[in-house]
Every structure is written in C-alpha cells, then in structure tokens.
Structure 1
Amino acid sequence: MTRLILVDPRAEPSAPPAALAKRPLALDGKRIGLLDNHKLNAGALLEEIARLMAERYEVTEVVRAQKSDGSTPAPPPLLDDLARRCDLVIAAVGD
C-alpha cells in the first residue's frame, strides 16, 4: 500500500503588519515625488501620472528621482531626500 504524506505549507507571518503612511486629504498645493524603479516603462508611467496630476490638481512641484537599478532597494539617502522635499511620493514598478 502506498502512503501519502501531506504537508501544510502555510506559515505564521514572521513580522507584524506595517502601518500605512498618512495620506493627505487633498493634493492641491502639494509637492509630489515620483520614484522610477529603473525598469522598462516605469518612467513613462510616472510621466503620464505627472501630466494627469498637473491637469487635475494644483501641485506646486513635481520631484523626479530614479533608482540606479530595478533589483535593489532605493538607497536611504535618496528616500530621505524625497521625504524631505515632497509631501507624498509615488513609486512606479515597470515591466
């Protein structure tokens, strides 16, 4: 007789869920950051987002930044600069 062993692949989360960043109530008068992850089409997507936001909201500035490559996290100095200069940041993942 063949014996079949079943294994439950589920696991408990290893870290508590992170809190979401505080969202602004409105975008008018805000400085928007756009972070390109350096993958194909991420820049084009962000440029379209910038165009649409300029049409719909009175954003005061659009700050553009780009990671050096798509396979590593953004360096802390880049994230710190965006946090200092922007009221909110949109990150795009191309592909």
Structure 2
Amino acid sequence: MSFIVYNPTNSPSIKTKNMAPRNKSLNGSVIGLIDNGKKNSDIVVQGVAEGLKKKHQIKEVIIYKKHSFSHGLSKDDAKMLADKCDFIISGVGD
C-alpha cells in the first residue's frame, strides 16, 4: 500500500514594510489612545493621557473605546483616528 502526501503550504512571501516617519517631539500634537475594552483598560488609558499631558505640551488627547477587545477597528474608525491624530497608541495588553 502506498500513500500520496500533498504539501498544502506555499513558500513564504516576503513583503517589505517601512516604519512611518517619526516626529521629534510630541509638543503640539494630537494623540489618539485606543481603549480596547479589557478590564481596567480605561484606567490605564486615562493614566497614559494624564502622563503625556504632564510631560509634553499636548494639543489634544482623543480616547477611542473599541466595542470589544476581540475585534479590530473598523476601516472607518481607523481612518477617522488617522485623519485626526499625529500619534496613536493602542493598548492594553495582557
């Protein structure tokens, strides 16, 4: 008895991604903070916002709360944040 074994994998595709250009300072920036909805994430995100405001001359902090930590941002929400914010921090991890 013989078996035919098929390999369903493909060779890896290599894609080059470049990092976004970095600003030298947070001063005068609009910062977006994404609250992913995990337990106490609202407290952590608020603490990050307060810390950034104390250390830098932040123009505005936009806190966006996701509907569920198990889902990503919708394309519309991601575009809205990208259009309004100079920097975006997504948190909170386990």
Q: TM-score range by the shorter chain?
A: 0.7 to 0.9
Percentage of identical aligned residues? 31
Query: Partners in 2 of 1:15 and 1:41 — Cα distance?
Result: 38
Q: Give the Cα separation in 2 of the matches to 1:52 and 1:72.
A: 27
Aligned counterparts, 1:4-83, within 5 A: 13-83=12-82
CA distance in 1: counterparts of 2:59 and 2:18, whole angstroms: 27
| Matched residue type, 2:15 | P
Separation in structure 1 between the aligned mates of residue 20 and residue 56 of structure 2, nearest angstrom? 21
- Structure 2 segments unaligned to the other structure (5+ residues): 1-10
TM-score between both structures, scaled by the size of structure 2: 0.78
Q: Which ranges of 4 or more aligned residues in structure 1 deviate by more than 4 Å?
A: 12-15
TM-score with structure 1 length normalisation? 0.78
> Structure 1: 5+ residue runs without aligned partners?
1-11
Count of residues paired in the alignment: 85
Calculate the aligned-residue CA RMSD, in Å.
1.9
- Following superposition, the deviation at residue 16 of structure 1 comes to 2.4
Report the CA distance between 1:37 and its aligned residue. Answer: 1.0
